[in-house]
Structure 1
Amino acid sequence: MSAELIEGARVVLEDRVETASVRIEAGRITGIDVARDGAAVVPGRGRVLAPAFVDVHGDAFERQIMPRPGVTVPVETAMLETDRQLAANGIGTAYHALTLSWEPGLRSVETGWQVVHALAALRPRLTADNRIQLRWETFCAEAEPLIAQVLAEADRPALAFNDHTSAMLLHPDVALHDRPFDQVPDYPVTPFDAPRFLKKMADQSRRAGISAEAYAALIARVWERRAEVPRQIERLAALARRHGAPMLSHDDSQVETRAHYRALGARVAEFPMHERVFHAARAAGDAIVLGAPNAMRGGSHLGSPGAAEMIARGLCDILASDYFYPAMLGAVARLSADRVAPLPVLWRLVSANPARAMGLADRGRIAPGLRADLVLLDWPEGHAPAPLRTWIAGRGGYSALPAIPAPHLEPAP
């Protein structure tokens, strides 16, 4: 692999932004402001060069598998297209939030196996570092063989504990962000024949490809497994610990919930639903993840705490793409324009911090010796930024560089 020198860009370093040149060779960053020494020159003047994004939770790939409700496409085709979207949006490392649920269809264990097998077969053809977040619905015992196999593979996945079953069955008198710890004995359950519950089942059933009545009957049967769930969680958490896999808990609404999963080794709080959980996670030193679409749009579509406010208060460490890959760059742009924090601080939310939380010490920053995971941006003052080129382990992952550079465009600060 020949050396390249990205010359004269505004480079986002850990603690500052400065005009510099970055040399890459054999998949690594080999120097900052060093001699060309025969390297091919990539013009960077008027551009911004930053670490490629590390995305700890993205499920937009589901829309490639099922672009319309009930309409599916071959999984390999879907994952190839997803990989290209990742590179085009500056995402160098992506943890696909692969929901493993008891419901049939898109989020079933069967579809999960298809994605796992597709990624394994496609690995030599993929551009980004495609990894898996095992987004496990804790009532889904049948997912255990898949989880065990993926945890044992070389590309270490992450394991996320989800309990959307209890959330869907929550009594309507209790707000979702106030729902009690999932394992309390007297959990407030909705009447299964209530009109509001039946409407919710109709909404959920479309993704599963079954009738609302069949979905309601299915979740009622699944709820009967509740006594077995704590042991399943403990067993799979122990397996993840043995493999050294990072663990996350999803949508925590109570301090008790966060404490329970922390004790099992889950040191990442993903999308906390109440301020008390943010404070408990921060006090314990847990990493806190929020959605980049939340930050980009200026608030959560679910009424959860606003990402910008939490970042300003020091209560958010990581922004994930969630359901929209362009949101990682869009969030940084919005937060920078709103002066929530300096650009180097904001960029840590989408690169260095998620890399650290996932145990990836070789990426997320621009420094000699690290992987050359980079994104070169066109970012005119007052306008939305756009990736012009990405490098993933030094390989050209995406390029939209114009034939003639535009040095008159000044990058955003």
Structure 2
Amino acid sequence: MTDIFISGGRCLIGPDLTHTSLTISEGLISRLDASGHAGLDLDAGGLAVLPGIVDIHGDAFERQMMPRAGVDFPIDVALIDSDRQAVSNGITTVFHAATWSWEPGLRSAANARHLLESIEALRPRLAADTRFHLRHETYNLDDENEIRGLLAAQRIDLFAFNDHMDSTVASLDKPHKRQRMVDRAGLSGDDFDRLVQRIAARADAVPASIARLAEAARQAGIRMLSHDDESPEMRRAFRGQGVGIAEFPVNEETAREAAAGGDAIVFGAPNVVRGGSHTGWTKASEMISKGLCSVLASDYYYPAPLLAAYRLVADRILSLPRAWSLISAGPAHAAGLSDRGALAAGQRADIILVDDSAPMRPRVVAVIAAGRLVYLTETNRLSTAVAPRAAAAE
């Protein structure tokens, strides 16, 4: 692995942006504020040098798997393309949030299994540190034992409890929403309606299943999330089972309960970029201004975390160091990854160089992931001690 020396940039060191240099060796940041050269030298003049983005909830890969309803592409192709998209937007750690539902089709058990196996097989080829975030639909009782086995084997990196049954039932009376679900599942309309009715009848068995799965995750040391908490009571109930991450709480009262309990609070970065939720729920920028958000996730759009951080600065809600914490140090802490999220000696060398001369349109110039240069748009910024030797050899 070639050593890398980065100089001339504004580096995010602790709470400040400081003109300093970084030396990278064996995949780690080895020194700060040193002089000299390395196998690869990167000129970061005029750029911000920032810790890589940690994305703990992203499902944009689904569009690479099924770009149109009923049109499938191989999962390995989808993962490789998603990796390129994530890295080019500064994401160096990505948790693919795969829904394991009672539905057939895109969010089926078979697809979730295949995705997990593909991530495990492809990890050496992917630039981003790629992990598996299982979004378990709580009414999916049929696969509980299998999922408990995966938790025990620690093959799941994050485990979320999702319950979309009420919204699914409500959507049956809304033709456009119903048709999207029917197309995604690959069933006829009548067959889908019958399936929903059969699954909804399981409600009484769901709480005990949640308790068993939460126990399995606790025993395996896997961090858990609850999705779309609707009330403080719901958040307290999940916290009582060891679920320490509140993902997209739907109102301020619930977010305040999460904050009071010391929980990590996740909102979607697209919510910030677009100025509000596409569902009409909580406005993330307002929650951030009130100190009720510790993590922003890409959700369904990989460019969103980078854009959201800079929008928070442009809107004078947060300074860049504080905004960047929401997409790097904050999610790393929530996921239990103590080796990243900061530019410090001994930390994993996940680093991005950003041209932020246009405040609302930051542009990723270079990405280093685990000490390897994996993305570069301006080759004039790179000099290498290897190139002259190679030229001489020719």
Superposed, which structure 2 residues align to 1:4-19 within 5 Å?
4-19=4-19
* 1:35 counterpart = 2:12: no
Partner of 1:110: 110
SS of structure 2 residue aligned to 1:169: helix
Partner of 2:68: 68
* 1:261 counterpart = 2:261: no
Partner of 1:123: 123
| Structure 2 counterpart of 1:333, from 302, 307, 310 | 310
Closer/same/farther in 2, CA of residues 23 and 153 from structure 1, 3 Å limit: farther
Q: Which amino acid aligns with 2:131?
A: R
User: What CA distance in whole angstroms lies between the structure 2 residues aligned with 1:386 and 1:92?
Assistant: 15
User: What CA distance in whole angstroms lies between the structure 2 residues aligned with 1:383 and 1:161?
Assistant: 34
User: What CA distance in whole angstroms lies between the structure 2 residues aligned with 1:123 and 1:17?
Assistant: 33
Q: Which amino acid aligns with 1:77?
A: V
User: What CA distance in whole angstroms lies between the structure 2 residues aligned with 1:402 and 1:73?
Assistant: 33
Q: Deviations over 1:307-355 (max 9, x none)?
A: 1111111011100000000001010111111111110000000000100
SS of structure 2 residue aligned to 1:70: coil
| Structure 1 counterpart of 2:220, from 237, 243, 247 | 243
User: What CA distance in whole angstroms lies between the structure 2 residues aligned with 1:94 and 1:47?
Assistant: 24
* Superposition deviation, residue 39 in structure 1: 4.9
Conservation of the 8 A alpha-carbon contact between 2:99 and 2:135: yes
Partner of 2:49: 49
* Superposition deviation, residue 223 in structure 1: 1.1
Partner of 1:188: none
Superposed, which structure 2 residues align to 1:173-252 within 5 Å?
196=173, 200-252=177-229
Partner of 2:372: 395
Conservation of the 8 A alpha-carbon contact between 1:376 and 1:390: yes
| Structure 2 counterpart of 1:271, from 248, 260, 264 | 248
SS of structure 2 residue aligned to 1:264: coil
User: What CA distance in whole angstroms lies between the structure 1 residues aligned with 2:150 and 2:80?
Assistant: 20
Conservation of the 8 A alpha-carbon contact between 1:201 and 1:215: no
SS of structure 1 residue aligned to 2:178: helix
Q: Which amino acid aligns with 1:202?
A: Q
Partner of 1:95: 95
Corresponding pairs, count: 382
Conservation of the 8 A alpha-carbon contact between 2:152 and 2:217: no
Superposed, which structure 2 residues align to 1:282-301 within 5 Å?
282-301=259-278
User: What CA distance in whole angstroms lies between the structure 2 residues aligned with 1:279 and 1:121?
Assistant: 41
Conservation of the 8 A alpha-carbon contact between 2:43 and 2:381: no
Q: Which amino acid aligns with 2:187?
A: I
Task: Give the TM-score taking structure 2 as reference length.
Answer: 0.93
Partner of 2:84: 84
Q: Deviations over 1:142-186 (max 9, x none)?
A: 33354234424566511100000133235x9xxxxxxxxxxxxxx
* Superposition deviation, residue 231 in structure 1: 1.1
Q: Which amino acid aligns with 1:299?
A: G
User: What CA distance in whole angstroms lies between the structure 2 residues aligned with 1:77 and 1:153?
Assistant: 26
SS of structure 1 residue aligned to 2:357: coil
Q: Deviations over 1:244-269 (max 9, x none)?
A: 00100000111111111111111110
Q: Percent identity?
A: 43
User: What CA distance in whole angstroms lies between the structure 1 residues aligned with 2:282 and 2:239?
Assistant: 21
* Superposition deviation, residue 370 in structure 1: 0.4
Q: Which runs of 5+ in 2 are unaligned?
A: 383-394
SS of structure 2 residue aligned to 1:301: coil
* 1:345 counterpart = 2:322: yes
Task: Give the TM-score taking structure 1 as reference length.
Answer: 0.89
Q: Deviations over 1:211-234 (max 9, x none)?
A: 222111101000121111111111
TM-align CA RMSD: 1.7
User: What CA distance in whole angstroms lies between the structure 1 residues aligned with 2:197 and 2:116?
Assistant: 29
Closer/same/farther in 2, CA of residues 326 and 34 from structure 1, 3 Å limit: same
Q: Deviations over 1:104-140 (max 9, x none)?
A: 1000011111101111221221111111111000001
User: What CA distance in whole angstroms lies between the structure 1 residues aligned with 2:72 and 2:145?
Assistant: 25
Conservation of the 8 A alpha-carbon contact between 2:5 and 2:38: no
* Superposition deviation, residue 14 in structure 1: 2.6
Q: Which has the higher mean CA deviation after the structures are superposed, 244-253 or 117-126?
A: 117-126
SS of structure 1 residue aligned to 2:9: strand
Partner of 2:136: 136
Partner of 1:357: 334
Q: Which runs of 5+ in 1 are unaligned?
A: 173-191, 406-413
Partner of 1:369: 346
Partner of 1:308: 285
User: What CA distance in whole angstroms lies between the structure 2 residues aligned with 1:274 and 1:403?
Assistant: 48
Conservation of the 8 A alpha-carbon contact between 2:314 and 2:360: no
